[in-house]
Amino acid sequence: MKVLQLDAPRTIEAAPLIRTEREIPEPGPGELLLQVRACGICHTDLHTVEGDISPPALPITPGHQVIGMVEAVGAGVDGWSRGDVAGVPWLFRACGTCAYCLRGEENLCPQAIFTGFHRDGGYAEWMISAAEYSLKMPSTLRTEAAAPLLCAGIIGYRSLRKADLYPGEHLGLVGFGASAHLAIQIALQWGCQVSVFTRSLEHRQLAEQLGAAWVGGADEDPPDQLDRAVLFAPVGSLVPTTLAKVRPGGTLAINAIHLSPIPEMAYDLIYGERTLRSVANATYQDGIELLELAVSIPIKTTIQVYQLTDANRALQDLKESRINGAGVLIA
């Protein structure tokens, strides 16, 4: 089978993902063998290949927004059959027994294993997933458009909840890539007013098309203070800039697995019972709830499709903000 693997981190301009051939893997106990149909690309993939975050071992095949057809099931697997369509998110597996897992916070499990980071992911023709953490994909969702839901969608949904967003509030989205263009649709469904902060003209146009009430740059102010905000751009200097737009008692959630340093800032920016919190990974239940919303709203995913062999170019387009919506690889 064809796979794209990372042997050593380098800037994406140096084309760090190498095409190679491997044997099709066999599913172990509790696992599924999937024929990959589509895999979304994510900033976490870019952070991995460029060395911002470091997998415990190399080589590794990235990709954690995977739609695949079940080809074989391992021993002890219930509820999955050959021909089922599975979705594989960032959380590959958690221990299930620690205090975090028992509280339903398996996203914080110290022993958590992540797809495309600890285990080979979906930049390949075939891959293995953990049956217990794979998601049943609704039949109404188109394969390529559904792939970004499995990280961009799930983590965007969790970010709205961690931002303490209530129906009817004024929400700010800072950065308007794959995750934000899905999160805005949920917020609008909840009756919220949404302001979008982004540099890209194309991203601004997409935000307006999707229903943003106001669109501008991070250095601009919307007509009214924000009740809540989510920072999607991995830029620490935007934390104080955004907090200045949030009302007392409001919340800023940072949706980033890697963030440049947050600069020293005046206490006044967080005083007034403002909340600043990070969003770390997502739970299995988040995935179930997001897919239900994707069908009921329904969420429309704007995608740009690339061939698997063009993954380096796709990640470079992501780095340069040339993708409007979400990028998706197909084998």
Q: In sequence order, which residues have a C-beta less than 8 Å from that of residue 254 and are 6 or more positions away?
A: 230, 231, 239, 276, 277, 278, 279
Extract the tokens encoding 45.
Answer: 């993939």
Which residue ranges make up each domain of the chain?
Answer: 2-151+302-330, 153-278
> Is pLDDT at 287 greater than 90 in this prediction?
yes
CATH of the domain spanning 153-278: 3.40.50.720
pLDDT in tens, 161-214: 999 999 999 999 999 999 999 999 999 999 999 999 999 999 999 999 999 999
Q: What is the pLDDT of the chain when averaged over all its residues? A: 97
* Structure confidence at residue 331 (pLDDT): 85
**With pLDDT > 90 as the criterion, what percentage of the chain qualifies?**
100
Q: What is the pLDDT of residue 54?
A: 95
The answer for residues whose C-beta is within 8 angstroms of residue 102's C-beta and 6 or more apart is: none
147-172 burial: b if 16+ Cβ within 10 Å, else e? bbbbbbbbbbbbbbebbebeeebbbb
> CA quadruple 141, 142, 146, 147: dihedral positive or negative?
positive
User: pLDDT tens-digit profile of 76-112?
Assistant: 999 999 999 999 999 999 999 999 999 999 999 999 9
Q: Could you report the per-residue pLDDT of 45-74, keeping only the tens digit for each? A: 999 999 999 999 999 999 999 999 999 999
Give the separation between CA 96 and CA 151, rounded to whole angstroms: 21
Q: Which positions ≥6 away from 239 have C-beta within 8 Å?
A: 231, 252, 254, 262, 263, 265, 276
Which top CATH class is 2-151+302-330?
Answer: alpha beta
Specify the long-range contacts of residues 212-217, CB closer than 8 Å, at least 24 apart. Answer: 212/184
Q: How far is residue 196's CA from residue 218's CA, in Å, rounded to a whole number?
A: 9
**Can you tell me whether residue 283 is helix, strand or coil?**
coil
